[in-house]
Amino acid sequence: MKIKSVRARVFEWKGKTVPPQGNFCSNAMDLLYAPQETMSTFRFHSWTVVEIETDDGIVGLGNVALAPAIAKAIIDQYLAPLVTGQDPWDYEYLWQRMYRATHAWGRKGVTMAAISAVDLAIWDILGKSVNKPVFKLLGGRTKEKIPCYYSKLYRTDLKEMQAEAQKFLDQGFTAFKMRFGYGPAHLQKGVAENLKSVEAVREVIGYDNDLMLECYMGWNLEYAKRICPKLEKFQPRWLEEPVIADDIDGYAELNQRTGIPISGGEHEFSLYGFKQLLDRKAVSVVQYDTNRVGGITAAHKINALCEAYSVPVIPHAGQMHNYHLTMSTLASPMSEYFPMHDVEVGNELFYYIFDGEPVAENGFLQLDDHKPGLGLSLKTEYLKDFNIVE
């Protein structure tokens, strides 16, 4: 079997979007005096879809949401020529070709995300060619079904947050991730607002359910050291991305010096990036995203690393490419889960492009033993809401 063609298209969402209200998610831009809505550069309203066809007509689907138009350019100009004409079963060789050929300017960020998209499509082909789901090629079914945590609860009016938490508590979720709205730039009043929001959600879900707290790189070490002692009473399962991804020493200090497990990884890349996080005890939970980190070829290796370090891996976002990695290793106890809703931040855009995503039932997800490959197909229902760039 040989790769015959590689096609990358950018799906630009033109449909309705929910405008962000107020301080709905602390983020890395908050520390600057930038007047515009600070979350604007972290909203994913376009997505690049990769379709790789083999000489016997199998089409593999990959995807990338980080800088989608740039990822497409990297795929078109650099990666497609490296894999075309090659055997997709030589996936490690192909991964090394892509990783090494772009090493002078790649290694992290959008290059690894572009490599991830091609790698996902290759694994989709492998599963389809042997009529097996991808997780069966990685280690098989390690769970009867996948526990998942409800992820949204962006910072809005506290009553709205409580109503949202109650709605998904009633749907059987036993773990919830909420977002902080404030950081160092918002001074002591912001600290008080942050504590109020955690208290409000805990009031609804109680202490028999897990609560995770998302900072999305919006704080710094000094602020995190100040607020963490005040957060401990809320018994968070983890505090996510309190500092920017490059501040690994900051991660390590918080992870080892506060009583709250620190999580991160959605902005880290390759096996080497995670070796660093684990060697330096920077995180207690690893959260790569398989469509960013280097695809399934890289994520599978990182799963093994996490197993060796006894650090749980709970991939960022939901999405099928991550569910296969969680299903196939005991090192991954659960998945993140965004339900389908109006397009807001953009993690949910995946549902408007692909069919095949499992819907959570009672806080669990199920994968089909008999659905080959990643189990995704392109949705046609919302095509009118996309501008597609070939």
Ligand X SMILES: O=C(O)[C@H](O)[C@H](O)[C@@H](O)CO
x-marked contacts with ligand X along 300-339 as a string, rule CB under 6 A = ----------------xx------------------x---
- Give the interface with Mg ion as residue ranges (CB under 5 A): 240
In whole angstroms, the minimum distance from the beta carbon of 240 to Mg ion comes to 5
Residue from the set 11, 13, 216, 386 that interacts with ligand X by CB under 6 A: 216
- Counting contacts by CB under 6 A, is residue 209 touching ligand X? no
Q: Which is nearer to ligand X, 52 or 314 (CB)?
A: 314
Nearest to 294 by CA among 128, 110, 170: 110
* Binding positions for ligand X, 244-303, rule CB under 6 A: 266
In whole angstroms, the minimum distance from the beta carbon of 168 to Mg ion comes to 18
- Counting contacts by CB under 6 A, is residue 25 touching ligand X? yes
CA–CA distance, 42 with 339 (Å, rounded to integer): 19
Task: Out of 316, 321, 341, 370, pick the active-site residue.
Answer: 316
> Contact, 94 vs 298, CB < 8 A?
no
Structure tokens at 88: 């997709």
Nearest to 278 by CA among 238, 315, 307: 307
Compute CA distances 270 → 73, 258, 262, 294, 300, whole Å: 21, 27, 20, 6, 11
- Counting contacts by CB under 6 A, is residue 48 touching ligand X? no
Q: Which is nearer to ligand X, 79 or 112 (CB)?
A: 112
Q: Which is nearer to ligand X, 37 or 51 (CB)?
A: 37
From the list ligand X, Mg ion, none, which binds 237 (C-beta under 5 to 8 Å, kind-based)? none
- Counting contacts by CB under 6 A, is residue 214 touching ligand X? yes
Structure tokens at 87: 């055997």
Residue from the set 347, 374, 375, 376 that interacts with ligand X by CB under 6 A: 347
Question: By CB under 6 A, how many residues form the interface with ligand X?
Answer: 12
In whole angstroms, the minimum distance from the beta carbon of 179 to Mg ion comes to 9
In whole angstroms, the minimum distance from the beta carbon of 318 to ligand X comes to 9
Q: Which is nearer to Mg ion, 240 or 357 (CB)?
A: 240
What phi and psi, each to the nearest 5 degrees, are found at residue 286?
Answer: -95, 130
Helix axis angle, 270-279 relative to 295-309, nearest 10°?
20
Q: Specify the pairing of strand 285-286 against strand 364-365.
A: unpaired
Residue 324 annotated among the catalytic residues of the structure? no
Burial 85-110 (b: 16+ CB within 10 A, else e): ebebeebeebbebbbeebeeebbbbb
CA–CA distance, 70 with 112 (Å, rounded to integer): 12
In whole angstroms, the minimum distance from the beta carbon of 296 to ligand X comes to 20
- Counting contacts by CB under 6 A, is residue 179 touching ligand X? yes
Structure tokens at 297: 């070829």
CA–CA distance, 358 with 365 (Å, rounded to integer): 6
Structure tokens at 172: 């059987």
Residue ranges that bind ligand X, judged by CB under 6 A: 25, 151, 179, 214, 216, 240, 266, 316-317, 336, 345, 347
Give me the active site residues, please: 316
